[in-house]
Amino acid sequence: MVDAATGVAMDVFGVLPDGRPVERVSLRAANGFEARIIMYGAALQALIVPDAEGRCDDVVLGHDDLEGYLGKRRFFGATVGRYANRIAHARFVLDGDVVHLPANDGPHALHGGLAGFDRQLWQLAEIERGAEPSATLAYVSAHGEEGYPARLDVRVTYRLTGPAELSVSFAAWADRPTIVNLTNHSFFNLDGAASGADILDHRLTIAADRFLAIDPDAIPLQEPPRATAGTLFDFRTASTIGARIRSDDVQLRNGKGYDHNFCLDSVRGLRFAARLEAPRSGRTLELLTDQPGLQVYSGNYLDGSISGKRGRLYRQSAGICLEPQIWPDAPNRPDFPAARLAPDSVYRHRSVYRFVSAGLVQ
């Protein structure tokens, strides 16, 4: 059980085939808001949030046991790296040298390769108790792992920074030049992960007036970002996700729905990026980030082949991902925000998931 005085608890979530235990740490606020993180993939395994009536439910897709995470790879709640999203043709040039990566998404590299950070057992580096309980997880990615140059030391910290607010912070250091782009890959359903409802009635707001158009492989086109105004991608004012997702549009066909990077403003520091509202439960999620892009993925490839929490089959649009990150294929695009990390620099990324509803004590 969680110690109410500290807001932190530990248990063993499962055991890997090689016998290594997978620990889980739970961070809990007084009102029932709770984040549960497992060491496998440094994943957010559950996020318990009160609704408008104060009833608590888990709002992120995933599994109730470790076996589910070891099966078909869907990145539920995972920390994704070394490079989140896609790198075209599984190659890039770094300081004049061509770097080849394993291709795991057709001819392209996706989410760190065949065994990215989501497939690794992280170590619990630190726990903080008190008013803002937190857990810091650590992983060392060896030089050459999945083709990426440099040894990379990575930390991710999950922290409760308010009565209904989860902050996720990443930091990374390299011993030679490399590229880094990390994100959290949670699928949100604000009606509940096991509700059986989809997210097509959720209302979405995105603070972006540009987006990246993609080809049929979801690689950004060789063109500048497109304006969202007057398109099916204009979420600057709240719009129901399902209102336009079935429209006959080449970009929605290429992504099988929404699977696009929205270009956030260039202001540095933490700022508003998106809002997700569920009319049935009354839950509202506000996302703040310091990253230049937000990948919005409407769960297009969930096909009912995955049994999730409480035995629910996850089908198309069972959840939506809001992934703050550097833009996809940036290592091959000098016109995009840079993903290069020098050995005398520190990669940092902070995102905040803030829930607002009548049932939450602010």
DSSP per residue, 104-164: -BTTBEETTSTT-GGGSB-EEEEEE-SSS-EEEEEEEEPTTGGG--S-EEEEEEEEEEETT
Rounded Cα–Cα distance for residues 222 and 242 (Å): 28
Mean pLDDT of 213-241: 98
**Confidence band, pLDDT 50/70/90 cuts, at residue 52:** confident
**Confidence band, pLDDT 50/70/90 cuts, at residue 3:** low
Rounded Cα–Cα distance for residues 294 and 310 (Å): 30
Rounded Cα–Cα distance for residues 311 and 290 (Å): 36
Mean pLDDT of 296-315: 95
- What count of other Cβ atoms lies within 10 Å of the Cβ of residue 8? 19
pLDDT attached to residue 70: 97
Extents of the domains making up the chain: 8-356
Rounded Cα–Cα distance for residues 150 and 177 (Å): 7
pLDDT attached to residue 266: 83
On whether the CB atoms of residues 98 and 91 are closer than 8 A, the answer is: yes
Q: What is the pLDDT of residues 175-194, one digit of tens each?
A: 999 999 999 999 999 999 99
**Confidence band, pLDDT 50/70/90 cuts, at residue 2:** very low
- With 70 as the cut, is the pLDDT of residue 4 above it? no
CATH class of 8-356: mainly beta
Query: Which amino acid belongs to residue 255?
Result: G
pLDDT attached to residue 6: 58
Mind telling me the catalytic residues? 185, 323
Rounded Cα–Cα distance for residues 181 and 164 (Å): 27
- With 70 as the cut, is the pLDDT of residue 328 above it? yes
Tell how strand 109-110 and strand 271-277 pair up: unpaired
Query: Which amino acid belongs to residue 315?
Result: R
- With 90 as the cut, is the pLDDT of residue 361 above it? no
Rounded Cα–Cα distance for residues 215 and 259 (Å): 11
Half-sphere exposure of 338 (CA within 13 A, CB side): 9
Mean pLDDT of 311-318: 96
Mean pLDDT of 46-57: 94
